[in-house]
Chain A
Amino acid sequence: QKEVEQNSGPLSVPEGAIASLNCTYSDRGSQSFFWYRQYSGKSPELIMFIYSNGDKEDGRFTAQLNKASQYVSLLIRDSQPSDSATYLCAVTSYDKVIFGPGTSLSVIP
């Protein structure tokens, strides 16, 4: 079993819709959870982090964490074409960050 799993996509949503990106992880001891965005040809950049169960909102982005289910998600409200990118879930485990394979999101105008 891979340590961090994501649907590879591509996920296509119309402009203005909600995009939902999902991630599961295998290490129950993981404490910190992150979402990175990677535009084509660019390096990943951190956009959200969450440490506690529940929701965390930042503008149009909401991160959700359920440690019992070992599940993290990212919701993007009012999706814009500029949100089109690959979204990487990352989890810290044993003092190291582990990245998932990423989900490609395409927002259609």
Chain B
Amino acid sequence: GAGVSQSPSNKVTEKGKDVELRCDPISGHTALYWYRQSLGQGLEFLIYFQGNSAPDKSGLPSDRFSAERTGGSVSTLTIQRTQQEDSAVYLCASSLREDTGRAFFGQGTRLTVV
């Protein structure tokens, strides 16, 4: 597809379980961002990739959160031992390195921890 693809669209998990969220960016986009958005709130920055490197991980809320990117393409955000406060929409965006402000967002993954 031509856009940013995220999977799954919705995920319901039990507290304490691990979850993996996937982002497939637009082909050729070297910059990739993960954000979290709670209901009615703004974008909470989590992590930024340039290629496979993560120059800025400052937004990851705790060591239960990790992310990786392989082949300069697909990225996976992993949340271990999920808590109810992790419930939110997780958004991924990608952009060209030379035009990093023109970010294209995926449709998001709605995570519900019960």
Name A residues whose Cβ lies closer than 8 Å to a Cβ of B. Answer: 32-34, 43-46, 49, 86, 88, 90-92, 95-102
19 CB < 8 A contacts A-B: A32-B100, A34-B101, A34-B102, A43-B108, A45-B105, A49-B101, A88-B43, A90-B101, A91-B101, A92-B101, A95-B31, A96-B48, A97-B31, A97-B33, A97-B101, A97-B103, A99-B42, A99-B43, A102-B42
Best-buried of A33, A95, A98 by chain B (most CB within 10 Å): A95
B91 within 8 A of A: yes
B107 within 8 A of A: yes
Q: Contact at B105–A97, with CB atoms within 8 Å? A: no
For B50, give its contact among A91, A92, A95, A100 (CB under 8 Å): A95
**Minimal Cβ-Cβ distance residue in B for A46:** B102
Count of chain A to chain B residue pairs whose CB atoms are closer than 8 Å in the complex: 54
For A43, give its contact among B33, B42, B91, B97 (CB under 8 Å): B91
Q: A96-B55, A97-B95 are in contact. List 7 more A-B contacts (CB 8 A).
A: A44-B91, A90-B103, A95-B31, A95-B50, A98-B45, A100-B42, A102-B42
- Which range holds the interface residue count of chain B? 20 to 34
Complex contacts, A95 vs chain B, CB 8 Å: 31, 50, 97, 100
Q: Contact at A43–B101, with CB atoms within 8 Å? A: no
Tell me the B61-114 residues at the A interface (CB within 8 Å).
91, 93, 95, 97, 100-108
- The CA of A87 and the CA of B93, in the complex, are separated in Å by 17
Known A43-B107, A96-B48, A96-B56: A32·B101 in contact at CB below 8 Å: yes
For B101, give its contact among A33, A86, A101 (CB under 8 Å): A33
For A44, give its contact among B56, B101, B105 (CB under 8 Å): B105
Instruction: Please give me the 8 A-B residue pairs with the lowest Cβ-Cβ distance, nearest first.
Output: A101-B42, A43-B105, A92-B101, A32-B101, A34-B101, A97-B101, A102-B42, A99-B43
- The CA of A62 and the CA of B57, in the complex, are separated in Å by 34
Complex contacts, B97 vs chain A, CB 8 Å: 95
